[in-house]
Amino acid sequence: MQLAGDFGAALSALAPDFGPSARLALAVSGGGDSYGMLALAADLLPDRITVFTIDHRLRAASGQECEAVLSACAVRGIPAERIDLDWPSGVPQSNRQAQAREARYRVLTAACAERGLTWLATAHHADDQAETFLMRAARGSGLSGLAGVRARRRIGELVLLRPCLGMRSETLHQAARAAGFIPIEDPSNSDPSYDRSGVRALLEGTDLLPAERLAAAASHLADAEEALAWLAKEARRTRCWSRGDELRFDARGLPSETVLRVVRSVILDLGGELPRGTQAQRLVETLGRGGRASLSNVQASGGAVWTFRRENDPRRA
C-alpha cells in the first residue's frame, strides 16, 4: 500500500528515534480519519501497535462506537482497550469539545504510562490543520497559535505524534474503506453550534482556501515558532541572572517578541501563572518606560536592567 509508505516516511521524519522494537499506541475513535491511520499503521507495523478508544460519554451512542472499534480490532488481531471518561462534576454543558479533548489526552497519557508505552499517534490531518489555522486567525492569535497542531510534542515521558498531518481527510477515509473498516460518523462534526463545523463548511464551499496550502502555512509558522523559542531560551540563558531574591533581565537591544517570551518565562519561574492575552505586552511596555507593575503575584521594575521578584518575598531597603 503506497499510503502506508507515505505514513512510514512521515513517522520516520517525526520520530527517527522510534526503534525497531518500539510499540506505537493509536488513539482511534472509529471515524474515517482514525480508522485510516489504523489501517496504515497496521500495514506498516504489524504486531507493534496498541489501540485505545475513548468513550467520552457526551453522546448516547459513544459506548456502542467504542465497542465497534474493539470488535474491528479483535477480528484483525490488534490489541485494543476501551477507556471511559469520568466526569466527577457531571458531563460538561459548555465548551464541551475543548474539555473532552483535554480529558482524552489526560487519560491517554495515563494509559500509556501504565503500559510502558512512550509513543502515541493521533489522526490529525491537513484539513484539521487548515481549520485550526483559520479559526485562530479569526481570533487574532499570535504566531504560536497560528502554527496550529504540532507534528510532535512531548507530554512528560510520552511522545505525541501526528504522522497524518500531510494527508487529506478523504485520503484517510479511502485507506479505511480499502482495509474493510466501516467508519462511524460523529454528528458533532456537522453541528453548526461548533465553530469548527462552520469553518469546515467554509473550506468545503470554496476553492480560494485550499486546505493543503493553509496547512503548509501553519507548518512554516511552526518552524518560525521553533526558531523564536530557541532564541528566547538563549536570551534567557545569557541575559538573565539571579541576585538575592530577584531575577534580573537585560532586555536592551532584543527583539520585542524575544523580550515577551523571556518575561513570560521569568514570571512562570517565580511561581506566577502564564500571562494571558496582552497582559505580558502591557507589562513589557511599562517596564520599557522605566515603570513598575505587578502581574500574577510577581513585582517588576524597569530601568536599564529589569528586576522581578515575588510580591510576598521580603526585600532589603
Residues paired with 301 in a beta bridge: 292, 307
Return the closest-CA partner of residue 189 out of 105, 128, 99, 139. 128
156 in a labelled binding site? no
Interatomic CA distance for residues 113 and 160, integer angstroms: 13
The reply to whether 290 sits in an annotated binding site is no
Return d(Cα 54, Cα 125) in angstroms, integer. Answer: 19
Q: Is 30 annotated as a binding residue?
A: yes
Helices 32-44 and 169-178 cross at an angle (nearest 10°) of 60
Cell of 170: 478523504
Distances (CA, A) of 217 to 20, 152, 164: 33, 17, 16
186 appears as a binding residue in the annotation: no
Sign of dihedral through CA atoms 197, 172, 181, 121?
negative
- The residues, any chain, with a CB within 8 Å of residue 273's CB and separated by 6 or more, are 267, 296
Query: Is 32 annotated as a binding-site member?
Result: yes
Give the cell for residue 203.
473550506
* Residue type (1 letter), 165: L
- Please measure the distance between the N-terminal and C-terminal CA atoms of the chain and give it in whole angstroms: 73
Type of residue at 97: Q
**Phi and psi at residue 25, to the nearest 5°:** -85, 140
Q: Which helix (H) or strand (E) holds 225?
A: helix 211-239
Question: Cβ neighbours of residue 125 under 8 Å, at least 6 residues apart?
Answer: 33, 164, 165, 167, 168, 169, 171, 172
Query: Is 265 labelled as part of a ligand binding site?
Result: no
Annotated binding site for ATP: 29-34
Annotated binding site: 29-34
